[in-house]
Amino acid sequence: MDVGPDRHEWKGHMKNSENSIVSPFDKVVDRTKTESMKWIYPREVLKVQDAIPMWVADMDFEAPPAVVEALRRRADHGVFGYPLVPPSLYAAAMSWLERRHGWAVERSWIAVTPGIVAALNYCVPALTKPGDGIIIQTPVYHPFYYAIENHGRRVVRSPLRFDGRRYEMDLDDLERKIEAPGQLLILCSPHNPVGRVWRGEELERLGRIAVERELLVISDEIHHDLVYGGHHHQVFAALSPDVAARTVTCIAPSKTFNIPGLSTAAVIASNPDLLQKIENEAERAGYDLGQVFGIVGFEAAYAHGEPWLDALLPYLEANVDFIETFVAGRIPGIRFVRPEGTYLALLDCRNLGIEPGALNDFFLHKAGIYFSDGAMFGKELEGFVRINFGCPRSLLREALERIERAVKSR
Ligand SMILES: Cc1ncc(COP(=O)(O)O)c(C=O)c1O
């Protein structure tokens, strides 16, 4: 498929009106006149007109120019019939996974899906029976709970351990929670919302448990490209052939390149039986067709978005440093849980003295900031909120200043 090459060479810097060099990620794009859920919901549904949204996981940056250009070219064609996923899309994904993650994937292992949440909702019925217990490491991305409960399965929680600074897996607890061979574990790696990029040793031990106790694993690796200095994402299925044989991996360019509204992701399994079961269930649910713009955006992002991502990562990491310094120095009562990856992080607000149930309202109505309430990810996060810092630094600064004023004037 013709998705490139990038006619707009990506430049890691640009000039502002005063002729100084700034990052392209400093550009503030007005999203309020679009259909953006992130911006419309707090302002128009919750009626806080000037709210800064820092909740749902998309970023306020323009997608890579190569993606925008490919979509524009496709729109210019003018005919938008049912698509068939082209071989070039698979090739772009395989090349990306090999280049960025050292993971050699074959074309026959990949099934395109409209999204990871959709995929979870057909993988669960494909791989388990009603009443089965499915293990998740809580707190965790809330649709994991829904994908289990929507289909009459049981959530089996294996809580992460928190020492006040960072989260760890509790693998002894996880082993104790295993009920039967063939049980499903849904792994979040890197982990949303705690921001951990699991170390190789942690995943190796989990992999050994999975093989010895015959677990099936869905490894949601949607945040795998967003990893900060000193950390390395280990593909779970790449640990060993035995681990690969029982693992279904979910990936997408959506978080990496800020194109989640294009609704196109991929499920990867080297075990043909697992993949067949999943594809049958996807077809039963009516998810067997792709989406024209999603296909074009997916391929263009993986084929041409790399320089953009390489510029984004230091920008996001500088946002992490900015929040850490600001919160530690200027916002008493809040602790920032520094993330190792993702553009999401926890603010531990338990020392603010605000009832957990009133916390998100306090931030929305007193500071004009809309966060994700920690409790939605699990009861472990009562008293926390999740901040989405995938935005220009100027907006981040304004948000933190608003929080500082709200906290100090209580
Ligand atoms: C861990 C995780 N999985 C899946 C998703 C959503 O994926 P999709 O938009 O492909 O359904 C998110 C979005 O925040 C996420 O954090």
Residue 266 — very low, low, confident or very high, per pLDDT cuts 50/70/90? very high
**Mean local confidence (pLDDT), 295-321:** 98
Is residue 244 within 6 Å of ligand 1 at its C-beta?
no
Nearest CA to ligand 1 atom 7: 116
**Could you tell me which of 237, 263, 272, 280 has the C-alpha nearest to residue 122?**
280
Buried b (16+ CB within 10 A) or exposed e, 280-308: ebbeeeebeebbbbbbbbbbbbbbbbbbb
**Tens digit of each residue's pLDDT (9 = 90 or more) over 203-239:** 999 999 999 999 999 999 999 999 999 999 999 999 9
| Of 18-22, 142-146, 406-410, minimum mean pLDDT range | 18-22
Give me the pLDDT at residue 5, please.
Answer: 59
Q: What is the pTM of this model?
A: 0.96
- In the reported structure, the alpha carbon of residue 117 is separated from the centroid of ligand 1 by a whole-number distance in angstroms of 6
**Tens digit of each residue's pLDDT (9 = 90 or more) over 20-31:** 778 999 999 999
Is residue 254 within 6 Å of ligand 1 at its C-beta?
yes
Identify whether the C-beta of residue 387 lies closer than 8 Å to the C-beta of residue 371: yes
Q: From CA 318, how far away is CA 303, in angstroms rounded? A: 26
- In the reported structure, the alpha carbon of residue 137 is separated from the centroid of ligand 1 by a whole-number distance in angstroms of 16
- In the reported structure, the alpha carbon of residue 320 is separated from the centroid of ligand 1 by a whole-number distance in angstroms of 21
Q: From CA 43, how far away is CA 174, in angstroms rounded? A: 41
Q: Which of 141, 142, 249 to mutate to test the pocket of ligand 1 (most atoms within 8 A of CB)?
A: 141
Residue 96 — very low, low, confident or very high, per pLDDT cuts 50/70/90? very high
HEC per residue, 120-172: HHHHHHHHCCCCCEEEECCCCCCHHHHHHHCCCCEEEECCCEECCCCEECCHH
**Mean local confidence (pLDDT), 342-347:** 98
Nearest CA to ligand 1 atom 4: 116
Residue 401 — very low, low, confident or very high, per pLDDT cuts 50/70/90? very high
Give me the pLDDT at residue 328, please.
Answer: 98
Q: What is the mean pLDDT of the chain?
A: 96
How many of the other CB atoms lie within 10 Å of CB of 183?
21
Is residue 265 within 6 Å of ligand 1 at its C-beta?
yes
Is residue 116 within 6 Å of ligand 1 at its C-beta?
yes
Q: Is 13 exposed, middle or buried (0-12, 13-18, 19+ CB in 10 A)?
A: exposed
Give the number of the atom of ligand 1 that is nearest the alpha carbon of residue 140: 1
Residue 250 — very low, low, confident or very high, per pLDDT cuts 50/70/90? very high
Give me the pLDDT at residue 16, please.
Answer: 76
Is residue 221 within 6 Å of ligand 1 at its C-beta?
no
Residue 12 — very low, low, confident or very high, per pLDDT cuts 50/70/90? confident
Cis peptide before 356 (omega within 30 of 0): no
On the question of pLDDT at 9 being above 70, the answer is no
Give me the pLDDT at residue 221, please.
Answer: 98
Give me the pLDDT at residue 334, please.
Answer: 98
Identify whether the C-beta of residue 138 lies closer than 8 Å to the C-beta of residue 377: yes
Stronger pLDDT, 68 or 6, i.e. the higher one: 68
Give the number of the atom of ligand 1 that is nearest the alpha carbon of residue 188: 1
**Mean local confidence (pLDDT), 244-271:** 98
Residue 10 — very low, low, confident or very high, per pLDDT cuts 50/70/90? low
Is residue 342 within 6 Å of ligand 1 at its C-beta?
no
Is residue 117 within 6 Å of ligand 1 at its C-beta?
yes
Identify whether the C-beta of residue 3 lies closer than 8 Å to the C-beta of residue 299: yes
Give me the pLDDT at residue 19, please.
Answer: 74
- In the reported structure, the alpha carbon of residue 278 is separated from the centroid of ligand 1 by a whole-number distance in angstroms of 18
Give me the pLDDT at residue 299, please.
Answer: 98
On the question of pLDDT at 6 being above 60, the answer is no
**Mean local confidence (pLDDT), 274-281:** 98
On the question of pLDDT at 259 being above 60, the answer is yes
Is residue 59 within 6 Å of ligand 1 at its C-beta?
no
**Mean local confidence (pLDDT), 292-315:** 98
- In the reported structure, the alpha carbon of residue 192 is separated from the centroid of ligand 1 by a whole-number distance in angstroms of 9
Nearest CA to ligand 1 atom 13: 57
Is residue 381 within 6 Å of ligand 1 at its C-beta?
no
Q: Which of 188, 255, 258 to mutate to test the pocket of ligand 1 (most atoms within 8 A of CB)?
A: 255
Stronger pLDDT, 369 or 13, i.e. the higher one: 369
Cis peptide before 114 (omega within 30 of 0): no
